[in-house]
């Protein structure tokens, strides 16, 4: 690393076998994972969703790094909190060619995937992996950091404020924290169609489960944890009023309580009427994972529609349709360690 002892590639991160998955492990970037050593049974599905999300709904992977560059033009050290499959890690390494980027995750298998992807991309000399439990703090050896990135992972950590206080200490004065959350889960069908109406009801059911730490901070169904992640049941550190049913955790109070000053909050919308070819696979992977978590909450009619959409042999299935769209929304909070702190 440029500003502190360079972490070695974790030998554990190069073990072979099934991928552990965002969050994210702690990525759940998917997205982390607070299984404390246990691998989630849906690891491969979650890793697939993560990678497809980065291809289909990639606006934030351009917009947020560009905004980071407005405050720190040439960072030397970047850390990815809950790196998952490494989509954020590799994006940041490409965007900032002088930076060393450290992928932090509690899953050695996910980190092996990051290391392999970095080698394939020709970035192995600047992308490093470190196995770490991030529930309350960063590893002590991380210092002199210029940028900290947490995409769809912060709600998985047991004490996000404590972790952010630790991150503040690791950052240089003026260093940047970027926190990204999915505010509206993706949909793939025209809203004015009968199948699209069912999909919107599915989305409401997802939100009702507190799928990403929103909706009052409830996590009613461990299996419905964000399809981008594989954390077991963890309560969000944010406990909203029971009258609120927001899909989005409001991180601003937690970020400022940790000592940061928020410099920007950005709304990032994905609205694709002619999405890339990968959209069909993304839709299948996402809704397959969703089905696991909310099947018991659906009416028999809605469940039958979902199963038809996922059944390749049906002419109206997701993989055989030509009317797919992609709609989703993220929010990014960009914060700074005060220069005088």
pLDDT at 163 over 80: yes
- The yes-or-no verdict on residue 226 having pLDDT over 70 is no
CA distance 121 to 214: 35
What share of the chain has pLDDT > 70, as a percent? 76
User: Which residues, in sequence order, are bridge partners of residue 149?
Assistant: 80, 178
- How confident is the model over 12-70, as pLDDT tens digits? 333 323 233 333 455 444 333 333 233 444 667 778 898 999 999 999 999 999 999 99
**Percent over 90 (pLDDT), the chain:** 67
pLDDT of residue 243: 29
Instruction: Categorize the per-residue pLDDT at 294 as very low, low, confident or very high, splitting at 50, 70 and 90.
Output: confident
Exposed, middle or buried, 308 (CB in 10 Å: 0-12/13-18/19+)?
middle
Mean pLDDT, residues 179-198 taken together: 95
Q: Which residues of 326-339 are buried (b: 16+ CB within 10 A; e: fewer)?
A: bbbbbbbbbbbbee
Q: What angle do CA 289, 295, 297 make, to 5 degrees?
A: 130
What's the average model confidence in pLDDT over 309-325?
A: 96
User: Rounded to an integer, what distance in angstroms lies between the CA atom of residue 322 and that of residue 51?
Assistant: 22
Task: Examine the pLDDT at 1 and tell me if it is beyond 90.
Answer: no
Half-sphere exposure of 241 (CA within 13 A, CB side): 2
Residue whose token pair is 């702190």 = 341
Contact criterion met (CB below 8 Å) for 81 and 153:
yes
Closest listed residue to residue 40, CA positions, set 23, 57, 52, 61 = 23
Say whether pLDDT at 209 is over 80.
no
How confident is the model at residue 152, as a pLDDT? 92
Per the CB < 8 A criterion, the answer to whether 164 and 37 are in contact is no
Predicted confidence at residue 341, as pLDDT, reads 84
Predicted TM-score (pTM) of this structure? 0.80
312 SS3 class = coil
Phi, psi of 296 (to 5 degrees): -70, -15
Q: Give the residue with greater pLDDT, 89 vs 19.
A: 89
The whole-number average pLDDT for the span 214-230 is: 36
With b for 16 or more beta-carbon neighbours within 10 A and e for fewer, the 137-176 pattern comes to: bbbeebbebbbbbbbbbbbbbeebbebbbbbbbbbbeebb
φ, ψ of residue 125 in degrees (nearest 5) = -75, -15
**Confidence at 211, pLDDT banded by 50, 70, 90:** low
pLDDT in tens, 105-132: 999 999 999 999 999 999 999 999 999 9
């Amino acid at each position: 690393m440029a500003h502190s002892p360079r972490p070695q590639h974790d030998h554990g991160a190069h073990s072979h076998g099934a991928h552990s998955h965002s969050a994210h492990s702690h990525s759940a970037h998917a997205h982390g994972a607070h299984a404390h050593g246990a691998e989630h049974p849906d690891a491969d599905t979650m890793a697939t969703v993560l990678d497809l999300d980065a291809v289909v709904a990639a606006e934030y992977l351009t917009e947020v790094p560009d905004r980071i560059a407005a405050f720190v033009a040439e960072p030397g050290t970047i850390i990815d909190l809950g790196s998952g499959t490494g989509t954020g890690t590799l994006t940041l390494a490409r965007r900032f060619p002088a930076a060393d980027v450290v992928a932090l995750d509690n899953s050695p298998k996910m980190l092996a995937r990051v290391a392999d992807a970095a080698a394939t991309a020709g970035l192995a000399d600047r992308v490093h992996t470190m196995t770490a439990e991030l529930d309350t703090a960063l590893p002590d050896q991380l210092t002199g950091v210029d940028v900290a990135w947490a995409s769809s992972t912060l709600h998985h950590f047991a004490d996000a404020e404590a972790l952010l206080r630790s991150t503040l200490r690791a950052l240089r004065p003026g260093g940047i924290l970027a926190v990204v959350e999915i505010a509206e889960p993706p949909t793939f069908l025209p809203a004015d169609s009968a199948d699209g109406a069912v999909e919107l009801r599915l989305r409401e059911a997802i939100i009702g489960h507190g799928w990403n730490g929103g909706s009052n901070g409830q996590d009613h169904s461990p299996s419905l944890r964000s399809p981008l992640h594989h954390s077991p049941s963890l309560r969000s550190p944010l406990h909203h009023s029971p009258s609120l049913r927001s899909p989005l955790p409001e991180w601003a109070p937690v970020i400022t309580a940790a000592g940061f000053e928020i410099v920007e909050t950005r709304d990032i919308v994905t609205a694709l009427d002619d999405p890339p070819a990968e959209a069909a696979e993304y839709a299948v992977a996402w809704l397959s994972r969703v089905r696991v978590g909310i099947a018991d909450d659906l009416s028999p009619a809605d469940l039958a529609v979902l199963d038809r959409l996922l059944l390749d042999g049906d002419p109206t299935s997701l993989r055989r349709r030509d009317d797919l769209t992609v709609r989703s929304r993220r929010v990014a909070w960009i914060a700074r360690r005060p220069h005088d702190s």
